[in-house]
Amino acid sequence: MGEDLESLFYKVVDYLDGRDSNVEKVLVEEKPVAAKEPVTKADVFGRNAIPLGISNRHIHLSQVDIDCLFGPGYRFNQLKELSQKGQFAYKECVTIAGPKGVIERVRILGPSRSHTQVEILRSDCFKMGIDAPLRLSGDIEHTPGCTVIGPVGSIQLNKGCIVAKRHIHMNPSDAKHFGVEDKQVVSLEIPGERGGIIHNVIVRVNDNFSLECHLDTEEANALGVTAHNKLRIIK
């Protein structure tokens, strides 16, 4: 046994000196580990992600009402372009008033529309003393009105106040990718510590739309999400 150990010892020495090729060498190769890029909330759903836009209270004005509030021929000053093509926010704001209260600095969005529409938050309804229903933009029949006050004059609307239904803008190509159609009602998965599933989200398909889900500020705050988050459709 001693001779065997001694023989093995000298074989190892010879191998280390490069003189013995009969001793098998076992290699343990360490493969470099590629650094993983951090997965952010924004890209957690990959190519199935839908960008999020968060909407505060705002107003769309008709040209007739623009003339009353700001004077004939008034030209608004553009603040920024919005995500939807041809739409933008103006620097100018108005005040809106109901039977119980007033809300100042309500942002005007352009371009002008055929009928004035005021999109407010649910909490604004309590402050103003009106009961605005959940509606998609443009659906203003049988809705309450309010007083709109501008720098030159004021108007009394007999309809037009809504709380916007949560919805997703997309073009036909997007709709095909997600397997949905115009006016389809879907659910959305929302990431984050306060995330979850929200239902009753309306799909709106139009050639001019850019892919984006719209929630109002109250919904976004309750879910703990920002415009940096992205969502996923669950049909």
- pLDDT recorded at residue 33: 46
Is residue 32 over pLDDT 90?
Answer: no
Q: Token pair 């509606």 is at which residue?
A: 135
Supply φ then ψ for residue 9, to 5 degrees.
-60, -45
Residue in 167, 186, 184 with CA at minimum distance from that of residue 235: 186
Per-residue pLDDT tens over the stretch 175-189: 999 999 999 999 999
Residue 30: pLDDT band by 50, 70, 90 thresholds? very low
Residue 44: pLDDT band by 50, 70, 90 thresholds? low
Buried b (16+ CB within 10 A) or exposed e, 55-67: bebbbbbbeebbb
Q: Is 147 helix (H, G, I), strand (E, B) or coil?
A: strand
Domain ranges of the chain: 42-52+166-234, 56-163
Indicate the average pLDDT of the chain. 87
Distance CA 233, CA 222 (A): 19
Per-residue pLDDT tens over the stretch 199-225: 999 999 999 999 999 999 999 999 999
CA angle 161, 163, 166 (to 5 degrees): 145
% of the chain exceeding 90 in pLDDT: 77
Q: Rounded mean pLDDT of 151-165?
A: 98
Is residue 29 over pLDDT 60?
Answer: no
Per-residue pLDDT tens over the stretch 80-116: 999 999 999 999 999 999 999 999 999 999 999 999 9
Q: Which residues contact 132 (CB under 8 A, 6 or more apart)?
A: 118, 120, 124, 125, 143, 144, 161, 162, 163
- pLDDT recorded at residue 13: 46
Q: Side-chain half-sphere of 129: how many Cα atoms within 13 Å?
A: 8
CATH class of 42-52+166-234: mainly beta
Cβ–Cβ under 8 Å, residues 118 and 97: no
Residue in 195, 126, 200, 120 with CA at minimum distance from that of residue 160: 120
- pLDDT recorded at residue 192: 85
Is residue 160 over pLDDT 80?
Answer: yes
- pLDDT recorded at residue 49: 92
